[in-house]
Chains A and B, each alone.
Chain A
Amino acid sequence: MFILEINPLVLPDIGLVFWNTIAFLVLLIVLGKFAWKPMLKAIADRESGIEEALLRADKMKAEIAAMQNENEALLAKAREERATLIKEAKEASDKMVAEAKDKAKSEYDRILADAQLAITQQKNAAITEVKNQVGTLVIEVAEKVLRKELSNKADQESYIKQLADGVKLN
């Protein structure tokens, strides 16, 4: 205590202690309520905001990358599908062409066959008609000849005879 009393510098004044305490407490309470709390809260909010934003950005990036991958996969798939589609279409068209050709050929064959049949029938009919006509003509000529020839009895008979000879049952 003696040392403390000889040096006034290390002897705290009660008045100073009193005012210091009041000033400190006022500062602590007022700042604590109206400055530190909102400041620290705002800083913390901003930090969490930035952190969130960064996280979100990372997430976005990952999502975009995933999307790109997906897109590429889709594109590849689409390309593949297109190729198969084209191939199928080509096959189908080839098949159609072949079928059409086959059908055309068979039709042609059928028409040809029909035509030939028709021709044959016509020919036969024509021949028959010609034969009939020739027969009729022959009969008419023969009738005329006979009419002229039969005026003479002797000739008639010789002719019949001749005809009879000539007719061979064919």
Chain B
Amino acid sequence: MSLLRIKTLLVASFSFLALAISNPLLANEKAVSLDSNTAAHDTASQLAGAETHSATTAHEAKAFNVTETILEHIKDDHSWHLWGHTSVALPVILKTSKGFEVFSSANLVDEHHEPIVFKGNFNYKLVEGKLKIVNEIGAVDEEANKQLIDISITKNVASLFISVFIILFIFLNAAAAYKKTGVTSAPKGLQSFMEPIVLFVRDDLAIPNIGKKKYAKFMPFLLTVFFLILTNNFLGLIPFFPGGANVSGNIAFTMMLAVCVFVVVNLSANKNYWQHIFWMPGMHWSMKLFLAPIELIGVFTKPISLMIRLFANITAGHILVLSLICIIFIFKTVFASAIAVPFAVFIGMIECLVAFLQAYIFTMLTAMYIGMANEEHHHEHADAAHH
């Protein structure tokens, strides 16, 4: 009963807080939506971005674009928006036909955060958040862009580095504690907090799926994957500076992990695994012919499913929270926050669970695929029964 009362109080206070702060937020967001509208509608006169900005006052009454706002928050960016009009400029690193080029992303926007042309080896401009080479009149130069490789430290990359530093800090400290206190004493502090999670990965993910004999070899990989996903999931849930980037909900991140899983699974696979793919034992030869392509496709769909699952789950969570917050701006009334904020908080809670769950599922399935690829053959009796 008291728990329910606390919950109700919590929801009420959050709603009140949102009501109190939503006015300035609304004003802010109006400006943002105006900006984005400008970006979307004035592509023809991109070079004259500064001039068109003054003209956008005419668009004041234009509807608030939910999709664009949400996508803007989910997508990667060349600068890290902190609050209001403050953002951190990040380095832009480019490889073009004229070699490498490094400059600050602050050069790409004017004082009103509108994209402007930067003259480096080429003319660079942000088009829908992505850096492109433009020609003299401001149109995107497709030919030159084919040569452009953008390896900038974007918001996602910076966030990824932060998560890497956090992970390194935590685990190097935890590992040092073992050296210091020795094996016999009970774990303390950070070590005692991390050890159960490490043990969870080992005892509930690695050993049941891979087996006691072979799991040790894959433990570093599984632990790294698990904690990298977990840290980035949680960082993504934090709406302000150290978090806020959508790293684990980015397809590049999940793709990289999926490729790593693909490589690890298929490099570690034994003869038995390949036999089950190309020439399934215990089947009629016609079935074997039929199964081989399906199994072969399965080799690729497994990591692809991992990639899509993580990406979709995290992105969907972010979209959900943002959509709920956007309700306030759709209805253009602070009272909408009475509904939007409690729901957003609720979804936020679920997101915390999902953040852990997705790290767990990704690692568990990885362990399972590794286990399948390393399984010792135990189909002999089935074989014998068939022949």
Contacts and interface: CB of A to CB of B under 8 A. Distances in A.
Chain A at the B interface: SS class: helix
B151 A40 contact: no
A25 to B, nearest CB: 9
B228 A24 contact: yes
A24 B198 contact: no
A31 B164 CA distance: 10
Contacts of A13: 76, 130, 150, 154, 252
A18 B171 CA distance: 24
Given A9-B71, A15-B152, A16-B156, 16 more contacts: A12-B252, A14-B149, A14-B150, A15-B154, A16-B250, A16-B253, A17-B255, A18-B151, A19-B160, A27-B167, A27-B168, A31-B171, A31-B223, A35-B174, A38-B179, A40-B216
Contacts of B260: 24
Given A9-B251, A24-B257, A27-B167, A36 B183 contact: no
Contacts of A9: 71, 74-75, 251, 315
A43 B195 contact: yes
Interface string A12-46: 11111111110110111011101111111011011
B221 A28 contact: yes
Contacts of B12: none
Nearest to A18: B151
Interface of A: 8-21, 23-24, 26-28, 30-32, 34-40, 42-43, 45-46, 49
Nearest to B198: A39
A37 B219 CA distance: 9
Given A11-B251, A12-B251, A43-B198, A24 B224 contact: yes
B84 to A, nearest CB: 26
Given A14-B151, A43-B195, A24 B256 contact: yes
Contacts of A26: 164
Nearest to A25: B260
A15 B178 CA distance: 37
Chain B, interface size: which category? 35 or more
B144 interface: no
A37 to B, nearest CB: 7
Nearest to A36: B220
A27 to B, nearest CB: 5
Contacts of B178: 38-39, 42
A30 to B, nearest CB: 6
Contacts of A10: 251, 311
A27 B228 contact: yes
Given A8-B71, A15-B150, A15-B154, A39 B174 contact: yes
Given A9-B71, A11-B251, A17-B252, A43 B223 contact: no
A37 B183 contact: no
Contacts of B350: none
A34 to B, nearest CB: 6
A31 B199 contact: no
Contacts of A30: 168, 172
A72 B255 CA distance: 72
Contacts of B86: none
B224 A16 contact: no
B150 A40 contact: no
A121 to B, nearest CB: 103
A46 B160 contact: no
B132 interface: no
B160 A23 contact: yes
Nearest to B315: A9
Contacts of B44: none
15 contacts: A8-B71, A8-B128, A9-B74, A12-B255, A13-B252, A19-B153, A20-B252, A23-B161, A24-B256, A24-B260, A28-B221, A31-B168, A32-B221, A32-B224, A42-B178
